[in-house]
Amino acid sequence: MGGNYMYQHIPVLLNEVMTHLDPKPNHLLIDGTVGQGGHAKAFLQRALPDGRLLGIDRDPSNLAIAHEHLASFGDNVILVQDTYANAKAHAYAHGFTSVHAILLDIGFSSLHVDDPSRGFSFSLEGPLDMRYDRSGGLTAGEMVNTWSEDELAKMFRVYGEERNARFIAEKIVEQRGNEPFVTTKQLAAFIEALIPRRGKTHPATKVFQALRISVNDELGELERALPELIELLAPGGRIAIISFHSLEDRIVKQFFKEHPVLTVVTKRPVTGSREELRANPRARSAKLRVAQHN
Ligand SMILES: C[S@@+](CC[C@H](N)C(=O)[O-])C[C@H]1O[C@@H](n2cnc3c(N)ncnc32)[C@H](O)[C@@H]1O
């Protein structure tokens, strides 16, 4: 791998995605979470010479890496910084209105977790941020320090499926009156002192997940995007979605089932091979669902 970028991301369920999308040498793909371009590259290698890819990502840092990683594909690639919930406008602007494939690989990437300044990791000291796009919106810290006890409790319960949601929210509100929450480790240590550790999982895991989902409105983006995305599929075109927790997977499963223009291709979600799960811990919670436009 050449170039001066740090290409670290391992594309999840790559073989499974390629099998289901089956790119051909004139296909159009919208990759709504192009990230560092791992899946995109594999798609383009099979879609040349006439295939094209519209890659969207909310995060400028990941997109910059994708630019370098996919540079050799020249005009066959268009990259845009935005949320995939706005995919339709970009698709119309660039002639991707009747596409063979759409891919979403939702959530965060290794770049987010490994960079302390992004605030995604409770084991690395950093600001409580967690925004994929740092140009606007509330940070995790702003939510923790300003939301009411009820709002925090609901967020931890619904997005984190945290059993102690109310208790944690109550204690956070109490504590922030003395000292606001500023850093990741400060919040993680505070939760660890409240909730005894069980097994290997850090007691702050679910609260951090809830904050990430809430800060980026991850479920709302998915719900808003799906109806518009399927309008962009050509007859026979496929949409493939990789999700990493049950709330997202449920939204995708329901949506596929409720839309008569779609035929579900994966009756059960596809998970990684034993080899992949061994090599890439992040793949352990990945679930792929695919549907085809009639
Ligand atoms: C798991 S990574 C994708 C990796 C990519 N498939 C690859 O192979 O390199 C998920 C990406 O989705 C982006 N993302 C999260 N929510 C998004 C949204 N609503 N719209 C666009 N991109 C989003 C994140 O910034 C991150 O780069």
Question: Which residue, by CA, sits nearest to atom 22 of ligand 1?
Answer: 57
For residue 172, what pLDDT band results from cuts at 50, 70 and 90?
A: very high
For residue 8, what pLDDT band results from cuts at 50, 70 and 90?
A: low
For residue 282, what pLDDT band results from cuts at 50, 70 and 90?
A: confident
pTM for this entry: 0.95
Q: Residues with Cβ within 6 A of ligand 1?
A: 9, 11, 32-33, 35-39, 56-59, 62, 83-85, 105, 107, 109, 132, 216, 221
- pLDDT at position 7 over 60: no
**CATH code at position 54:** 3.40.50.150
The mean pLDDT of the chain is 95
Pocket test for ligand 1, best of 33, 41, 59, 245 (most atoms within 8 A of CB): 33
Instruction: Please report the pLDDT score of residue 198 as a whole number.
Output: 84
Q: Which of 194, 215, 236 is the last residue of a domain?
A: 215
**Rounded to the nearest whole angstrom, what is the distance from the C-alpha of residue 195 to the centroid of ligand 1?**
32
CA distances from 178 to 65, 167, 175, 202, 224 (A): 41, 18, 5, 25, 39
With pLDDT > 70 as the criterion, what percentage of the chain qualifies?
97
208 and 224 part of one domain = no
**CATH code at position 203:** 1.10.150.170
Q: Which of 200, 215, 230 is the last residue of a domain?
A: 215
3 belongs to a structural domain: no
For residue 173, what pLDDT band results from cuts at 50, 70 and 90?
A: very high
53 belongs to a structural domain: yes
Instruction: Please report the pLDDT score of residue 5 as a whole number.
Output: 43
Question: Which residue, by CA, sits nearest to atom 16 of ligand 1?
Answer: 107
Chain centroid to Cα 60, Å, comes to 14
- Residue-range definition of the domain harbouring residue 69: 14-107+218-293
For residue 9, what pLDDT band results from cuts at 50, 70 and 90?
A: low
